[in-house]
A and B are shown apart, each in its own frame.
Chain A
Amino acid sequence: MNNKLDSNLIFDKSRTGRRAYAQAPSNLATAAIPASMLRTDKPRLPETSELQTVRHFTRLSQMNFSIDTQFYPLGSCTMKYNPRACNALALLPEFAGRHPLAPSSHGQGFLTCMYDLQEMLKDVTGMKGVSLTPMAGAQGELAGVAMIKAYHDARGDHERTEIICPDAAHGTNPATATMCGCTVVEIPTGAEGDIDFDALQQAVGPKTAGIMLTNPSTLGVFERRIKEVADVVHNAGGLLYYDGANLNAILGKVRPGDMGFDVIHMNLHKTFSTPHGGGGPGSGAVGVNDRLLPFMPIPVVGKSEREGADFYDWLAEDDLPQSIGRLSGFMGNSGVLLRAYVYMRMLGRAGMERVAEFATLNANYLAVRLREAGFELAFPTRRASHEFIVTLKQEAKTLNLTAMDIAKALLDKNYHAPTTYFPLLVPECLLIEPTETESKETLDNFVAAMLEIATAAKNGTEFKDAPYTMPVRRLDDVKAARQLDLAYRHEET
């Protein structure tokens, strides 16, 4: 981490007439376009040398925490190692340079990977069909709920417009239900982290379109009565949607299809280790069981025989006339899918199971060690899944040490903060997910850092102004929202 902020914007480095001459064609022909259509002003893009640009963005990169540089136990986000080979192989020139509308004759290599990826994802989820096109988890959710709606509509069951969500659900779940024209029915969570079964029974009825569940839940525990939940919802005529955010916890061990789920999205950028990229791209492939197969978003990859050999091609409108349609301009985040494919092949069958095993081992070990160090677990009677929750409600009261304070203090100790204040129903919470790729030493050192912060707080140290060693101190969020400054005004200079 380069802890000295270079507060200069790229625009500050710009000088009229300077250029990265090696980077543009020298063709100076003027386009034959009517003058009335041409712009007369000059958009102020930076005028910098190639070295200045390279140095500027290299220095900016150094002002980030990342998996490659820090332990990043951000709960619910599965910040595991992103193998370098996945990136390099997805960017092989033929793959990177392939036009999305290139004919399948010039895409058998790419399409074979996509078909194989669909097959592997069907296996790990226990579903009957997979569409790779959704471009992020939230778009996978949208596809899922749209398929549930389409299923009911195709049966003439138009009254089913309610989607049930537990109060601990990701914000995208209720937001998705709204986007699909549904209303949200929220049900509470019981004391031990399972959903309130009585409330569920009250909630279902002739208007139930489906339920959206994460299992293990966002509370880091497995929904123990999942089969009964599935029966209740199915008996009421609804379908079950599996939010795959926490698939890492059960990979190769338990499959959503076997639990009774009808549709699932997977976050390939979590479980299958494609890069988070500073906030994207994601990839939210969806899996479905038999009854939702006709409604899958298009295109999907199909296999047929041509001249005695396997031939891979897109299946689209003609093949899936009941599809909920297209969600992207072409076929989703294909380069991300290639990375996931490489990762899954390197893990292999046994490697998948080990992901769940060692993610769970790491989480339970870290939970136990933190409890021994004096931190309170939100669900102490439960096994952790691949993540768990520490609540600082005591520390907040007695030491004035909040979840926010400890998050910022951890930054000064060179650890990325866990997820804070989510799920909303646990006060002063830290949601901690170590992932399987971290070593025991890293976990031990993290416990020591947490303990040092708590001990310092007991001795009267306040962390209200932390962090101190980052490129910036705590930022004024209120000012950011009230005095909106969303783009550099060139008049400033």
Chain B
Amino acid sequence: MPFIPHTEKDTREMLAAIGASSIEELFDEIPKELMIDSLQHVPESVNEMEISRLMRQRARMDGSPSCFIGAGAYEHHIPTAVWDIATRGEFYSAYTPYQAEASQGTLQTIYEYQTMITELTGLDVSNASLYDGASALAEASLMAVRTNRRVKTRRILLAPGVNPVYEQVAMAIAGAQGLTFERLAQDAASGNVDFDALSPDREPVAVVLQQPSFAGTLEDVDRLTDWAHAQGAVVISIVNPTSLALLRPPGQWGEEGADIACGEGQPLGVPMSSGGPYFGFMTCKQKHVRQMPGRIVGRTTDLDGNPGFALTLQAREQHIRRSKATSNICTNQGLMVTASTIYMSLLGYEGLVNVANASHANTTRLAAGLCAIEGIERLYRGPYFHEVALRLERPVAPLLTELAERNILGGFDLTAFAGQDALLVCATETKTDADIDAYVAAVAEIIRA
């Protein structure tokens, strides 16, 4: 019996102690007509060797293509130590640190994580993480409504560069509470917000900026932050944590800084793994801390006056406040946060800067190579971080299919987002010059054919 330790003698003795004649008898309070004889579609058990064989075979079907897709998830080198330590049983198989004395390892790790992520975003306080970047925007939007009571609307304005899936997710999660999401006009040349088209009469409760934008551009975040604050809106920033090694952090945007920062934590040591598990990070100004959703760890002292860590501000949460909680969220993405804390410690600031610079340099090489091909050019002018949008004179989908047949994942098809034939490419530090040149050569060959 997989994972069940009972010997026949154990079972006999236990049933005798209970006073039951069989295990079946223990289910005698369940109406008979509800009991099933057997499952129909679950196969018979396989052992570890057999399942390992099957999974390796299936993994091989997926292959290891050369990947130039970004669009919200990024391939970075993950130091071996990150997951070696994160999957130690003491981290892997522990639960929520409600018994603080027996969970100091998890709690201190989260406190260190909170410190690092506030340093990166330039804001005061952080929670212990949310599910992922997209759902973090939903939570940030709800939080903005709670903090900004002067504005009576629930209208949230999104910069044109906000990831369209994030908007969908925010709507699915927060729409039932009356929040609406509207896009600001886009300047066609830069891909960024069209400042000439900003109108002062929409009474937004919050304005959302994404830096770098979904299409890879860099927005004038200072001007947009100041404009949003002048409208009385809370400013929510969506940022890529790797980029914050180089770019000015949300806490320093405009005169007052963004109020809330959130985003996808995956680039910080979490494998791409077909989309999850990742983690969403969220930081904010101190004055908003009591409206922040999710778990928060604080440093305090114990009976002997020694420092220690505990979950705090739990009065915000569902297990205390029930229907009046700040969110229904219960879990955080603890294991991913542990991994990211180890990742950030191993890289340090200098290491993260190198990752950011190398990714930028590789993307520059890739964009230059592709733009040298007839019929490919930059879609938007202006600076970028590690992702660039390209305009093509041919449909993108068939090109991507042909590249995939050569085991190259050539990028994200931006056509629907941009309204024209467009491709979003990304080359992180994991790519060599040879990888990049091979990709460029393949595109040139396909286009020439």
Contact = CB atoms under 8 A, between A and B. Distances in A.
B176 A119 contact: no
Contact of B51 (A63, A89, A480): A89
Interface in B56-96: 56-65, 67, 69, 71-73, 75, 77, 79, 81, 83, 85, 87-96
13 contacts: A11-B115, A20-B347, A24-B350, A62-B90, A62-B105, A108-B58, A254-B36, A281-B276, A333-B131, A335-B273, A438-B5, A472-B104, A476-B303
A64 B104 contact: yes
A280 B361 contact: no
Interface residues of A, number: 199
Interface string B34-46: 1110111111111
B364 interface: yes
Interface in A453-493: 465, 467, 470-477, 479-481, 483-488
Contacts of B412: 101
Contacts of B35: 253-254
B146 interface: no
A279 to B, nearest CB: 4
6 shortest interchain CB distances as A-B pairs: A348-B45, A68-B89, A330-B275, A277-B335, A109-B58, A325-B172
Contact of A37 (B26, B103, B323, B383): B383
Given A27-B354, A471-B104, A141 B328 contact: yes
B340 to A, nearest CB: 11
Interface string B109-130: 1011011101110101110110
A61 interface: yes
A87 B92 contact: yes
B188 interface: no
A112 B252 CA distance: 46
Contacts of A315: none
B346 interface: yes
Contacts of A351: 1-3, 45
For B34, B119, B125, the residue with the greatest tally of chain A CB atoms inside 10 Å of its CB is B34
B419 interface: no
A121 B129 CA distance: 28
Nearest to A2: B105
Given A61-B88, A92-B56, A278-B91, A364 B39 contact: no
Nearest to B128: A279
Given A135-B276, A278-B94, A92 B59 contact: yes
A62 B77 CA distance: 27
Nearest to A179: B328
A346 interface: yes
For B11, B118, B346, the residue with the greatest tally of chain A CB atoms inside 10 Å of its CB is B346
Given A94-B63, A171-B318, A440 B69 contact: no
B202 interface: no
Interface string A334-355: 1110000010111111111111
B272 A276 contact: no
Contact of B14 (A45, A107, A146, A440): A440
Interface string B291-334: 00001111111111011111011010111111111011111111
Interface stretch (B192-200, B229-237, B239-247, B373-381): B239-247
Interface in A388-407: 407
B275 A172 contact: no
A19 to B, nearest CB: 6
Contact of B345 (A10, A357, A471): A10
A67 B87 CA distance: 13
A124 interface: yes
A473 B298 CA distance: 16
Contacts of A477: 300, 310, 312
Contacts of B273: 90, 95-98, 100, 334-335
Interface in B1-47: 1-6, 10-11, 13-15, 17-20, 23, 26-31, 34-36, 38-47
B256 interface: no
Nearest to B176: A181
Nearest to B286: A484
Contact of B348 (A46, A57, A123, A222): A46
A23 B277 contact: no
Nearest to B297: A486
A109 B57 contact: yes
A137 B176 contact: no
A275 B93 contact: yes
A8 B219 CA distance: 40
Given A19-B348, A175-B323, A330-B275, A349 B302 contact: no
Contact of A99 (B42, B67, B321, B336): B67
Nearest to B353: A24
A469 B158 CA distance: 52
B114 A224 contact: no
Contacts of A282: 330-331
